[in-house]
Amino acid sequence: MGRLPCCDKSNVKRGLWTAEEDAKILAYVSENGLGYWTSVPKKAGLRRSGKSCRLRYTNYLRPDLKHDNFTPQEELIINLHASIGSR
């Protein structure tokens, strides 16, 4: 007696994301905004789980995500952490 499955596990695609899938999820989120991630794959036409879509968007596709090099201050923090640890 548990929860109903969110999706048909046998029909879910796993592995690397393609550029077409990225474009679909970006188009869906820009059109409809952030909502219930369990419904995103079906509405966007993806064969992925809602969790996979949520993680892909938040970790790689968000517009406010920084993809640049580290700033000098961030480099200093990395070097200090490497030399003295996290104390």
Q: Tell me: the pLDDT tens digits for 12-34? A: 888 899 999 999 999 999 999 88
Tens of pLDDT, residues 53-64: 999 999 999 988
- What's the N-to-C CA distance of the chain in angstroms? 47
Question: What 3-state class would DSSP assign to 34?
Answer: coil
Cα dist from 40 to 79, 82, 87, whole Å: 41, 40, 42
Pick 14-84's CATH classification: 1.10.10.60, 1.10.240.10, 2.60.120.10, 1.20.1250.20: 1.10.10.60
10 pLDDT tier (thresholds 50, 70, 90)? low
Rounded to two decimals, the pTM is: 0.70
